[in-house]
Structure 1
């Protein structure tokens, strides 16, 4: 890189010129890109030495990235990702781990670890990430950023390294609502479902109960602060069985991850990092029956949530159970937190509905996000509401 990288968020590739439009709606904004997405003039390493060794220099740029460049954003580098994007922790055994600028003693979260760190550390104004099981939403919460997992299939994943085809989405990070919304206007196009200015709000009681008590209290107080401006939410139970959702997600993700990367792993036998090795071993063992059970659960929860939201509803839920775990936490502790986080993060993945995490709170000096899920195809109006929600959450009631 041609500038200091105090948070170790950028992959140290030799600089190559990446063309952007001289003027456009994103002029003046700098752009970082997760190293899953192809950028002309750079390799794509996917956080894996084997993938990097086979990559070569790419001759075309991923459409998601090109759209931002064509709108005037200026590329400043490719960012680190967890190995093969199969983690939520932000640690990479091969290339090191970015530092969380908002809470340096705590993990960045992953797998869009470097993208989060670049934006939170003010080394980029916006950053592209990907989200399969929470890889934009969790880091955004840990770093005090806006982050989005769009409606599944709404944005292109062409020329991006896959993890689980039916769950993968691109996404992006921004520090403030205005910048976050500028990107939405460029990439999202017209909503299929347009939320009203003041949507019908639903509070996911069963999902709030998944947060640690201290975080739950803080986030419920945030919601209370928004009521004068946005209205009283209705308490609802989202899922009949959260464990069933968790296992459905893991079976689907695991089976598809092995389809994406299994042949390479079997052929080369690469040393996989802690946690990643165990997840791929699990993935290899997922059979047809488990995958079919996962699909049945996915169909059921998609229909249930669609009915609850209708065309005018927004669900409020914790993004993750708590602030980011400590960097010093042992691997079993990190894995336990990851599994608890998946019980919250899997809902948007299984349904394919858009979810935005909004920076609204802190605990012990570390950021804590709150999430909004809207109907399928409501992404642009959900972004507008998320910006309004964040402003309302800032208003303190005497």
Structure 2
């Protein structure tokens, strides 16, 4: 267990023994767990003082955590999350904010803020997070890590605090591709779709245009670096109407978030932090008509993306529009950036397809990730390709 926490990653719970296997594929690796997952001997606070107050000490461990422990990973603590996991910024009004070890003046991203910071700061080898609307992918980009949002439903979320059932996934962070892939071998089982060694690459031209110009240039140059080893991607238009996808995601996620937490928020008159309070107020007011419209948009988009990717295609897109915003940015600027980021991040959520953010670049000294999105059920082969992609991206063009 850790006592020194220079990046404020860990929730300072009294330490309790957590057993792990002495041998296994993850033996010798340390594990940090987002405080949405039950761990025997610990409470589950979900980033909320009132949830923590009524949690009690858990008698059982969430299956996804148990699988990692039984594979030999050693638990080193539970990590901070944004309040009720309903944010992308990594700031918590009640418990403070982890420091981004890769760019201390910039946010970690959330809501898997503590897990990302723990891995980036070398306080853990594996950071277990969750991704509903980008809560692994955004921090991975901001902190210079590998991070995955798996195919929806691929990994059990039993004994995990929910946010939006049809979007929630269990994801993880690692600093290097080898550890990242080892975790996938433990958690993912057998792929339903196996990508070829070199998939058909599709560069989402319309989504690259969503990045700020400086970031777009850097990321397009990264793609050019992989061409000699992995081939020239085909340029495609990935979506018909990005605004409609953004609103569909917000309506669907919001309705489900209010169903998960609304009764508790109202019963306890729960004081919510900036941004989180406004998002739950928005969620409460979503109409049946907007929810139905969102479902129709989601269904059409899944069909379109499935046809585009087939069983051998991988879409290349920016993870987020730019490097992480500054910690000092005012709340309205952070909210504006979050909404811009959601226009890219919502594709993985609406489709339910796996997406890996790969650490490939830096701008102004801060990390910047690029994403690979594959067919549903292709998670392990997508991870294998992502590690090859990252190695190819290191090669400099003369």
Q: Please say if 1:172 is aligned against 2:172.
A: yes
Q: Paired residue for 2:296?
A: 296
State the alpha-carbon separation in 2 of the partners of residues 175 and 3 from structure 1.
22
Which structure 2 residues correspond to residues 204-219 of structure 1 after superposition, within 5 A?
A: 204-219=204-219
Q: Paired residue for 2:199?
A: 199
Q: Please say if 1:117 is aligned against 2:112.
A: no
Q: TM-score, normalised on structure 1?
A: 1.00
Tell me the alpha carbon deviations over residues 121-159 of structure 1, each in whole angstroms, 9 at most, x when there is no partner: 000000100000000000000000000000000000000
Q: Paired residue for 1:151?
A: 151
State the alpha-carbon separation in 2 of the partners of residues 241 and 125 from structure 1.
39
Residue 2 to residue 116, structure 1, CA distance change in 2 (3 Å):
closer
Q: Paired residue for 1:91?
A: 91
Partner-residue secondary structure (3-state), 2:251: helix
State the alpha-carbon separation in 1 of the partners of residues 271 and 214 from structure 2.
39
Which stretch of the first structure deviates more once superposed, 161-170 or 2-11? 2-11
State the alpha-carbon separation in 1 of the partners of residues 301 and 133 from structure 2.
16
Which structure 2 residues correspond to residues 351-390 of structure 1 after superposition, within 5 A?
A: 351-390=351-390
Which consecutive aligned stretches of 4+ in structure 1 deviate over 6 angstroms post-superposition? Answer: none
Q: Paired residue for 2:138?
A: 138
State the alpha-carbon separation in 2 of the partners of residues 376 and 299 from structure 1.
14
State the alpha-carbon separation in 2 of the partners of residues 287 and 51 from structure 1.
27
Q: Which 5+ residue runs of structure 1 have no aligned equivalent? A: none
Q: Paired residue for 1:337?
A: 337
Partner-residue secondary structure (3-state), 1:263: helix
State the alpha-carbon separation in 2 of the partners of residues 265 and 187 from structure 1.
33
Root-mean-square deviation (Å): 0.5
Q: Please say if 1:307 is aligned against 2:328.
A: no
Q: Is the 8 A contact 2:129 2:171 kept in 1?
A: yes
State the alpha-carbon separation in 1 of the partners of residues 44 and 140 from structure 2.
23
Partner-residue secondary structure (3-state), 1:370: strand
State the alpha-carbon separation in 1 of the partners of residues 269 and 191 from structure 2.
44
Q: Paired residue for 2:245?
A: 245
Q: Paired residue for 2:16?
A: 16
Q: Paired residue for 1:29?
A: 29
Q: Which 5+ residue runs of structure 2 have no aligned equivalent? A: none
Partner-residue secondary structure (3-state), 1:84: helix
Q: TM-score, normalised on structure 2?
A: 1.00
State the alpha-carbon separation in 1 of the partners of residues 231 and 2 from structure 2.
48
Q: Is the 8 A contact 2:16 2:42 kept in 1?
A: yes
Q: Paired residue for 1:397?
A: 397
Q: Paired residue for 1:184?
A: 184
Tell me the alpha carbon deviations over residues 296-355 of structure 1, each in whole angstroms, 9 at most, x when there is no partner: 000000000000000000000000000000000000000000000000000000000000
Tell me the alpha carbon deviations over residues 93-148 of structure 1, each in whole angstroms, 9 at most, x when there is no partner: 00000000000000000000000000000000001000000000000000000000
Distance apart, 1:2 and its partner CA: 4.2
Q: Paired residue for 2:39?
A: 39
Q: How many residues align?
A: 398
Q: Paired residue for 1:221?
A: 221
Tell me the alpha carbon deviations over residues 159-214 of structure 1, each in whole angstroms, 9 at most, x when there is no partner: 00000000000000000000001101111110000000000000001100000000
Distance apart, 1:392 and its partner CA: 0.2
Q: Is the 8 A contact 2:2 2:76 kept in 1?
A: no
Tell me the alpha carbon deviations over residues 17-44 of structure 1, each in whole angstroms, 9 at most, x when there is no partner: 0000010000000000000000000000
Partner-residue secondary structure (3-state), 1:17: coil
Distance apart, 1:381 and its partner CA: 0.2
Partner-residue secondary structure (3-state), 2:172: strand
Partner-residue secondary structure (3-state), 1:360: strand
